[in-house]
């Protein structure tokens, strides 16, 4: 996959994930979740392409691991919720609907009563809610740490500092989910991440402005050094080790094979 396709997929996928939180309940069922999943998949595909382009596997691997950890966290939280509530719910409904015979379809025809509800009847639901929140909080922190590591690698490879910022903001948002405001911070951070993806430029363009190699200093006469320096000011690039002329997009010297800019 080409670089432009990768960055566009990552950016569009992030925007879809951002927009999924704005979809109201009046839309078709599960449409918000469907858009979020599609956005996440597109973002991962785009990030995989960028990781291959920059030859840095950690960019994709850490984001993939973070996504897997997030899915596992949701599954565990759901299992805990079902396990803790399934037994308590039946007895709770019998208290609200004293004459209920266990037929779920009959509930709509019955009138609820709350006069015999005590605090002890609510405790199982509060305990379940706290347990679910604690599980999601811990897994959210782990996901944020893995995503931050991925975005830091992308920042180092691309030179776009906004990736490092989004990683830090994401971690702050994950920590502050304990007071709920963190979810808003994470949501806003998605928009910043999309902007960062669209700021990416091909490495060949960046190398001309930020990665021009220094003239060779080993085994080269003063006159040759001056000639190399003069040529570089005219836009040419030379190997910093053997002095061979390089194409503008070259990362490795075709003669000595050594990577430039190190």
pLDDT in tens, 63-87: 999 999 999 999 999 998 888 777 7
Largest CA distance in the chain: 102
- pLDDT band for position 255 (cuts 50, 70, 90): confident
- pLDDT band for position 143 (cuts 50, 70, 90): very high
Q: Which residue has the higher pLDDT, 120 or 236?
A: 120
pLDDT digits (tens, 9 = 90+) for 51-60: 999 999 999 9
pTM of the predicted model as reported, rounded to 2 decimal places: 0.70
44-58, 142-156, 182-196, 226-240: segment of lowest average pLDDT: 226-240
Cα–Cα dist 189/170, whole Å: 6
Give the CA-trace dihedral at 103, 104, 110, 114, to 10 degrees: 110
pLDDT of 207 over the 50 cut: no
- pLDDT band for position 209 (cuts 50, 70, 90): very low
Work out the angle at residue 106's Cα, subtended by the Cα atoms of residues 100 and 110, and round it to the nearest 5 degrees.
Answer: 70
Q: Which residue has the higher pLDDT, 98 or 162?
A: 162
Cα–Cα dist 154/218, whole Å: 33
Tokens of 202: 């091909």
- pLDDT band for position 208 (cuts 50, 70, 90): very low
Q: Which residue has the higher pLDDT, 129 or 238?
A: 129
Percent of the chain topping pLDDT 70: 84
Tokens of 186: 């994470």
pLDDT at position 205? 46
pLDDT of 227 over the 50 cut: yes
pLDDT at position 210? 44
CA 134, 139, 145, 148 dihedral sign is: negative
């Amino acid at each position: 996959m080409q670089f432009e396709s990768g960055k566009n997929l990552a950016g569009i996928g992030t925007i879809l994930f951002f927009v999924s939180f704005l979809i109201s309940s009046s839309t078709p069922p599960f449409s918000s979740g469907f858009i979020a999943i599609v956005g996440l998949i597109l973002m991962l595909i785009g990030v995989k392409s960028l990781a291959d382009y920059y030859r840095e596997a950690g960019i994709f691997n850490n984001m993939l691991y973070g996504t897997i950890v997030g899915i596992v966290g949701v599954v565990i939280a759901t299992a805990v919720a079902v396990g803790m509530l399934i037994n308590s719910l039946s007895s709770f409904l019998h208290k609200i609907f004293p004459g209920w015979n266990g037929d779920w379809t009959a509930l709509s025809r019955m009138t609820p009563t709350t006069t015999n509800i005590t605090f002890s009847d609510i405790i199982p639901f509060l305990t379940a809610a706290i347990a679910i929140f604690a599980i999601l909080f811990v897994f959210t922190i782990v996901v944020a740490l893995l995503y931050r590591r991925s975005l830091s690698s992308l920042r180092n490879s691309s030179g776009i500092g906004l990736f490092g910022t989004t990683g830090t903001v994401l971690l702050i948002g994950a920590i502050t989910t304990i007071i709920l405001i963190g979810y808003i911070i994470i949501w806003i951070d998605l928009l910043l991440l999309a902007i960062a993806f669209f700021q990416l430029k091909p490495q060949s363009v960046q190398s001309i402005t930020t990665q021009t190699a220094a003239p060779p200093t080993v085994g080269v006469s003063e006159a040759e050094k001056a000639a190399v320096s003069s040529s570089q000011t005219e836009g040419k690039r030379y190997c910093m080790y053997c002095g061979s002329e390089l194409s503008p997009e070259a990362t490795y010297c075709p003669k000595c094979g050594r990577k430039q800019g190190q």
